[in-house]
Amino acid sequence: MMTDWIWLIPPFLVAYGCSLSFPRWDGYGKDELKRYALSARVDPIGCLLIFILCRTLCSLCATSAAGDDSTFTIADAAVELEAKTERRVVPAAIAWFFGLFPVLFHLNATPMSEKSWDKRSWEASQWFGLWIFLTRWIIFAHAMYLSMSLYAEMAGGHFRVEMYSGVTNIAACCTFVSIQYYTLVHFHSHTQKVREKWHKRAVRFDFLQGVTHVPSIFLAISDIFFVKNRELVIATRPSSLVRTMVLCRHLFHRFDQLMAQVMAGVSLTFVATYIAFVVINYTLTRQWPYRMMDDRMTDLPSFFRFFTWQTAVFYSFLLGVIAVEYIAL
């Protein structure tokens, strides 16, 4: 429904308006301010694409095979249950409010690469600004998901089932970006040098990175266990992975079954989209977004090894979230 998409415009405008007045460090040079302006120009396009991707993936999560005729509908049982469950508008509003803070910090307070002593990162961001970083993708997708969840709690119906069906995958994404930042990036030698440079310029680098990376995992887990209606989370839980695999087997019934299984999984679409984006940016700039990638991706085989390993790590987080859901709910 078109109304499911249009409703997001008012809260987005509110968030964007707040970001314009959000405190920004005023010690940037001329080139750095130009790079911030570039990111600001890219933001509306990035937000729209992330919203479309997030909305589509949540819809796919709630889709199930409806028989041998390869038609697909929202799970009837979950929709019937949705009408009987309590609407959690206030908790959803609180989650949406706190979910905006990482976005606002990343929009205005995150230190931009400095040209004189971080030239490679500077070159990497010359086309797409801060959108080269997975963090920006995840926290924006999470904020939009929380916004859609707030609307879903008020509107109900199929849209609410879709949002509940996507909560597991969103939680896995947030867990990944929170943990892998500290595993791969935070303690890297290049990050240590960057931290020292920014500290000399009176920028609280560690605090800003913590604000943009840490809250996501807690907000996502809280969304599952405290914000969402427990009964409906349980009813839509299998759709996060199992139904998507069923869907892919039907959609790709002309292909080998093994190929369909490889392509199965809603989250893999998000992962593949970001990988494709990173490759496009590398083609344009000849630089990777993260300096730790320089050490791990020196040729084509190492490129595939790195992203295969990170995809496996992501799916381990997804399975971990599913396991926690089954144990705790």
| pLDDT tens digits in sequence order for the chain, 329 residues long | 444 445 555 555 555 555 555 445 566 677 777 777 888 888 888 888 888 888 877 777 766 433 344 444 445 566 677 778 888 889 998 899 888 888 888 877 777 777 777 788 888 888 998 899 999 999 999 998 998 899 889 888 888 888 888 888 889 889 999 999 999 999 988 888 888 888 887 778 888 888 899 999 999 989 988 899 888 887 776 544 444 444 444 444 443 333 334 334 556 677 788 888 999 999 999 999 998 888 888 888 888 888 888 888 888 888 788 778 777 76
Structure tokens at 256: 């080998």
Closest CA to 105 of 191, 18, 219: 18
Structure tokens at 159: 């849209």
Structure tokens at 34: 């130009």
CB atoms within 10 A of CB 245: 14
What does each C-alpha distance from 274 to 84, 131, 289 come to in angstroms?
A: 38, 10, 12
Closest CA to 57 of 132, 131, 142: 142
The sign of the CA dihedral 205, 200, 121, 36 is positive
